[in-house]
Every structure is written in structure tokens, then in C-alpha cells.
């Protein structure tokens, strides 16, 4: 058993060395594909975190009409808003709390609004509404606007929804790009294995004549594909892991502003490195399997 396995590995490495140029080109194709896969995973993870951050930070601000200021009226309004599908939480904000928020938003300059405390406060009572999913913001806001007693509804407008749609589009196009690159890598590996098969056609014919099973014949080629995949995974893992560590330290864990927090490198990079090696081996073996299976089917 051990001798048989050793033979398979020797044959595989002989094939790799014999067709060194094609081996390198296939490994390079896998490297390029995996580099995009690694970068895409990092971008996708950070986009997801940023999207969640935006969704958590965006609230629907509902200003109550001045004619609905009794406690009973406010309670009824809150119940009506809470019953709208997609709403996570509805928090009441009194006129004084609204003034506090206004003063805080202006920083030191906000102290000029302190004179509006008490009866001279011109602001309205309000509700702060959180939704379950950021994609529901616009629909929920429109539903709230239709309720009697609501004066205005603000939530960041179409720009907020547009930003989240753009982030989703980036992820979707990333999936398409990665799948396309993996298909190219499988094709190149398949061609490499075809050359190896062509140079060993007589040997394969002899093995079939003496009764060797397809699995026995196929094994060295599958090992070739697996090794090509492993070779191709070295560079993208180094660039992805090292590059993200450097970028994270350089930016201090934030992208543009503290609103956009980057995902911590660990343990994410461990998972990505492992996933890239496994994916590389699978892609390499897929390319080999396709090529060898076609040959064995044709050469009955």
C-alpha cells in the first residue's frame, strides 16, 4: 500500500517537472484566481461589517405634530408605529431630549441654544425608530408618514439606501469575478494534465492492458493537480495575509472615519489562509479529474 502511494507521488512529480512551463502557468492562474478570492473575502467581510454599522447608526427620526402632545396621543402614535412590519424598536424623545441632541451636535457652539430651555423650546416631541433590516428603511419611513399625527420623517433619504445598494452590488459582482477566474484556472490545469497524459499515453495503455483500474491510473494526475493548487496558493496567501495586516495597522483599524471599522485581522486571516489552500487543492484536482476522465472515457 505504501509502495503504491509512493509510486503515485513519484509519477506525479515527474509529470510536474517534465512539463515545468505549463505547471508554472497553471500555478500562476490559480495564484491570480486565489488572490482575487482572498481580496474579495476581505472586502466582502468588511463591506458586511460596514453595512451593519450603517444600518445600526441610521435611525428614522419621526417628528410629532404639535397638536399631538398629550401622553395618550403619544402612546397611541407609538403603538401605531410599532405595529408597522420591519420595525425593531421605537424610542420616545421629548422636546428637552431633542434639544440636548441639537446642542450636542453643535459641540461647543451648541451652548447658544440653552436659552431655549423650558417653555420657549420650539422643538417637537419625536420618535427614534430602528428597523430590523437597513433595506426596509425607505418602506418603513413611507408607512410612518401616512400616520395621522406625524409631522415629518427623516432617515438620511435615498442616499443612505443607495449606499447600501452599492455595497451589495460590489459583493455580487465580486462573486461573478471569482467564479470566472476559478473556471479559467480549472481550464489551464486541465490543459497541463492533458500534456502529461499525452507523454504517458503508451504507459497508460499498458496499465489498462494488464487490468489496472481507472482509479489507479487517475491517482498520479490528481496528485499533480493538487500539488499545482498548493503551489498556486503560496503567493496569494502571503499577499492577502501580509497585506491586510499592514493595511490594518496603517489605518489604525478604521477606513476613512471611525464610522467604518475594519474587521480585526485575527482569526479572520487564519480562516482565509486555510480556505485558500483547500480551495486551491480542490480546483487543482478538479482540473485533473476532468482531463483524465475524458481521456479514460475516450480510450476504452
Q: Which residues, at least 6 apart from 47, have a Cβ–Cβ distance to it below 8 Å?
A: 167, 170, 171
Mean pLDDT in the chain?
78
pLDDT over 60 at 298, yes or no:
no
> Residue 82 has what pLDDT?
92
**Centroid of chain to Cα 91:** 32
> Residue 112 has what pLDDT?
77
Quick one: angle between helices 157-199 and 201-209, nearest 10?
70
200-209, 222-231, 279-288: lowest mean pLDDT where? 200-209
Rounded to an integer, the average pLDDT of 192-200 is 65
Which tens digit of pLDDT belongs to each residue from 35-61? 888 888 888 788 777 776 666 667 788
| Cα 38 from Cα 181, distance rounded (Å) | 12
Which tens digit of pLDDT belongs to each residue from 53-112? 666 667 788 999 988 888 899 899 999 999 999 888 898 988 888 888 878 877 777 777
Which tens digit of pLDDT belongs to each residue from 227-264? 888 888 899 899 998 999 888 888 887 776 666 778 88
Q: How confident is the model at residue 157 (pLDDT cuts 50, 70, 90)?
A: low
> Residue 285 has what pLDDT?
81
| Cα 147 from Cα 168, distance rounded (Å) | 31
pLDDT over 90 at 15, yes or no:
no
> Residue 216 has what pLDDT?
73
Is residue 133 helix, strand or coil? coil
| Cα 16 from Cα 22, distance rounded (Å) | 8
> Residue 126 has what pLDDT?
92
- Name the strand (E) or helix (H) holding 260: strand 257-261
The percentage of residues in the chain with a pLDDT greater than 70, rounded to a whole number, is: 72
pLDDT over 80 at 150, yes or no:
yes
Rounded to an integer, the average pLDDT of 153-177 is 71
The pTM of this model reads 0.61
Rounded to an integer, the average pLDDT of 153-178 is 71
CB atoms within 10 A of CB 175: 11
Quick one: angle between helices 157-199 and 20-57, nearest 10?
160
Q: Which residues, at least 6 apart from 213, have a Cβ–Cβ distance to it below 8 Å?
A: none
C-alpha dihedral (124, 130, 136, 137), degrees to nearest 10: 30
- CA of 81: how far to CAs of 12, 55, 95, 220, 292, in Å? 68, 19, 19, 66, 64
Which tens digit of pLDDT belongs to each residue from 264-279? 888 888 888 898 898 8
> Residue 1 has what pLDDT?
55
Residue-wise DSSP of 194-241: HHHHHHTHHHHHHHHHTT--HHHHHHHHHHHHHHHHHHHHHHHHHHHH
> Residue 279 has what pLDDT?
83
- CA of 260: how far to CAs of 156, 160, 165, in Å? 17, 14, 17
Domains and CATH numbers, the chain: 2-54+161-298 (no CATH), 59-155 (3.30.70.3040)
Higher local confidence (pLDDT), 6 or 146: 146
Amino acid at each position: 500500500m505504501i509502495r503504491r502511494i509512493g509510486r503515485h507521488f513519484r509519477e506525479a512529480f515527474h509529470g510536474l517537472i517534465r512539463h515545468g512551463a505549463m505547471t508554472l502557468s497553471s500555478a500562476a492562474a490559480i495564484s491570480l484566481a486565489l488572490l482575487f478570492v482572498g481580496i474579495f473575502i476581505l472586502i466582502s467581510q468588511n463591506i458586511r461589517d460596514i453595512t451593519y454599522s450603517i444600518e445600526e447608526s441610521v435611525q428614522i427620526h419621526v417628528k410629532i405634530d404639535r397638536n399631538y402632545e398629550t401622553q395618550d396621543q403619544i402612546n397611541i402614535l407609538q403603538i401605531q408605529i410599532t405595529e408597522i412590519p420591519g420595525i425593531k424598536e421605537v424610542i420616545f424623545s421629548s422636546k428637552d431630549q431633542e434639544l440636548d441632541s441639537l446642542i450636542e451636535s453643535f459641540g461647543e457652539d451648541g451652548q447658544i441654544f440653552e436659552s431655549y430651555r423650558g417653555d420657549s423650546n420650539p422643538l417637537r416631541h419625536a420618535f427614534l425608530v430602528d428597523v430590523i433590516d437597513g433595506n426596509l428603511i425607505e418602506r418603513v419611513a413611507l408607512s410612518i408618514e401616512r400616520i395621522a399625527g406625524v409631522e415629518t420623517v427623516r432617515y438620511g433619504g435615498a442616499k443612505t439606501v443607495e449606499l447600501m445598494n452599492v455595497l451589495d452590488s460590489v459583493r455580487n459582482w465580486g462573486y461573478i469575478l471569482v467564479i470566472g477566474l476559478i473556471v479559467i484556472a480549472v481550464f489551464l490545469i486541465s490543459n497541463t494534465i492533458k500534456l502529461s497524459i499525452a507523454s504517458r499515453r503508451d504507459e497508460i495503455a499498458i496499465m489498462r492492458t494488464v487490468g489496472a483500474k481507472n482509479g489507479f491510473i487517475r491517482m498520479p494526475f490528481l496528485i499533480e493537480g493538487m500539488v499545482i493548487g498548493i503551489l498556486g496558493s503560496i503567493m496569494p496567501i502571503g499577499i492577502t495575509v501580509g497585506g491586510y495586516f499592514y493595511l490594518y495597522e496603517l489605518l489604525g483599524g478604521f477606513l476613512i472615519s471611525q464610522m467604518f471599522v475594519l474587521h480585526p485581522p485575527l482569526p479572520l486571516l487564519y480562516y482565509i489562509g486555510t480556505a485558500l489552500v483547500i480551495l486551491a487543492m480542490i480546483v487543482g484536482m478538479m482540473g485533473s479529474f476532468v482531463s483524465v476522465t475524458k481521456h479514460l472515457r475516450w480510450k476504452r
